[in-house]
């Protein structure tokens, strides 16, 4: 057997660098998964924050005696407490609050958030979620 063939046989039997090769192949996949978890997690955190704002605004509106006062209390709550959520830009929030069209004994608070400036929308090859996040909470009149 030639010296060159013998060297190739020894090289093919060597397993010392296999871990480094496997690591180099799997690292991009692993980092992509981790990065995806962080990016989509931030989007889900914004959705959760908008839902929490709507729920707490609906609870705070119970103190009002008229629909106008309830609506004002809900809007003020969202405006004053949006800063608690670091991923939410308060300037992109809108609030509507009114009696439910399907049940006259229920008050509904709806909070909309324009998420177009989020990082997730700049990524290529990523399915884009809705840019307008809308969450509602309802509470019966009288608290029962």
Q: Which H helix or E strand runs over 61?
A: none
Does the predicted model carry a pTM greater than 0.75? yes
Length of the chain: 144
CA triplet 118, 72, 91: central angle to 5 degrees?
A: 20
pLDDT digits (tens, 9 = 90+) for 2-48: 777 777 676 666 677 778 888 999 999 999 999 989 999 999 999 99
Return the structure tokens found at 54: 């709507």
């Amino acid at each position: 057997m030639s010296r060159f063939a013998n060297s190739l046989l020894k090289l093919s039997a060597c397993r010392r660098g296999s871990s480094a090769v496997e690591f180099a192949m799997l690292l991009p996949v692993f980092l992509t998964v981790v990065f995806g978890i962080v990016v989509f997690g931030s989007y889900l955190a914004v959705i959760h924050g908008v839902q929490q704002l709507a729920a707490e605004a609906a609870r705070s509106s119970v103190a009002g005696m008229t629909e106008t006062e309830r609506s004002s209390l809900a809007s003020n709550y969202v405006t004053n407490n949006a800063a608690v959520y670091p991923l939410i830009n308060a300037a992109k929030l809108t609030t509507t609050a009114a009696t439910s069209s399907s049940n006259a004994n229920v008050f509904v608070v709806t909070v909309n958030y324009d998420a177009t400036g989020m990082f997730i929308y700049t990524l290529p090859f990523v399915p884009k979620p809705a840019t307008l996040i809308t969450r509602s909470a309802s509470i019966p009149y009288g608290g029962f």
